[in-house]
Amino acid sequence: MDGPGHLVYAGSQPLPTGSDTTAWMQGVWNNLAGAEGPELPCLAELADWEDVSVGDATGRMDAKCPDSFFLVLVTADERGYTFIDNSTDRTLFEQMLSTVQLTPDTAIE
């Protein structure tokens, strides 16, 4: 993945105590949507996000703005992961996601 200004972001955090995948994803979406409207362009409703493979897990991807960015949320073993790509090549991004290894036991807080 290359090109001027190309960015791939990956981050993780522990799920809040008592939270599950759905609640965590909804919380992230609520933060991105903001009180004044979406912080990110073309943010689709979470229910409209598509399933996507992230390593051995299945996450959810907002691909409403395929010419702008892709946003993926996934959880594994009580940890939430966020991936953002500003590429216009969805196939390449999904190929990269398929190689991801989610290893919560190696996370650094």
Helix (H) or strand (E) holding 52: strand 50-54
Nearest 5°: the CA angle 50, 33, 41 is 70
Position with higher pLDDT, 87 vs 27 = 27
**Residue 107: inside a domain, yes or no?**
no
Tell me which H or E stretch contains 24.
helix 21-33
Domain of residue 38, residue span = 8-101
- Domains: count for the chain: 1
pTM assigned to the model: 0.84
Is residue 86 a contact partner of residue 97, using CB atoms and an 8 Å limit? no
- The mean pLDDT value of the chain amounts to 83
Q: Express as a percent the part of the chain with pLDDT over 90.
A: 39
CA distances to 1, 8, 21, 52 from 4, in Å: 10, 12, 34, 26
Tell me whether residue 1 is in a domain: no
Local confidence band at 39 (pLDDT 50, 70, 90 cut-offs) = low
